[in-house]
Structure 1
Amino acid sequence: MKLLHLPPYSPELNPVEHLWDELREKYFHNKVFDSIFSLEKHLESSLLSMELDQQKVRSIVAWPWIINALLK
């Protein structure tokens, strides 16, 4: 594990923010849930779908500057 120091507020530098945007846009767009349980189940299945699509996740989070910083 390698720590990378980021500015105090830099959501554009945090790839996880973009992953959550993708999740909200593709899997939760205009959805209403009957209960927190149904929301959790939907979240679990959505995350599993994203996990299985490694190419998509890589395209969202594996920015060149991140890869370069990790390989130093």
Structure 2
Amino acid sequence: ENITILPLPPKSPELNPVENIWQFMRDNWLSNRVFKSYEDIVAHCCYAWRTLQDRPWKIMSIGRRNWAQGF
């Protein structure tokens, strides 16, 4: 009863840190490539995700918002 849901506006990465995670993955592992097949796309995406999973501190630093730390 004391919780208010606020919908996030579209295209607002500063309010949705996951957008920055996806951008990091695209910038580092998924962009500027020509994929041979659907399986190749899936393999590259899995590789990117597993690589990022092995770097939890990187995930935390990408998703951190300095203005939100005071709450």
The TM-score normalised by the length of structure 2 is 0.76
Shift of 1:30: 1.1
**Larger radius of gyration, structure 1 or 2?**
2
Percent identical among aligned pairs is 28
SS in 2 for 1:13: coil
Query: One-letter code of the match for 1:8?
Result: P
1:56 matched to 2:58? The reply is: yes
Q: Where does structure 2 lack aligned partners over 5 or more consecutive residues?
A: none
Moved over 2 A (4+): 2-12
Match of 1:20 among 19, 22, 25: 22
The TM-score normalised by the length of structure 1 is 0.75
Richer in helix (by share) = 1
Q: Where does structure 1 lack aligned partners over 5 or more consecutive residues?
A: none
CA RMSD, Structure 1 to Structure 2 (Å) = 2.3
Question: Number of residues paired by the alignment?
Answer: 67
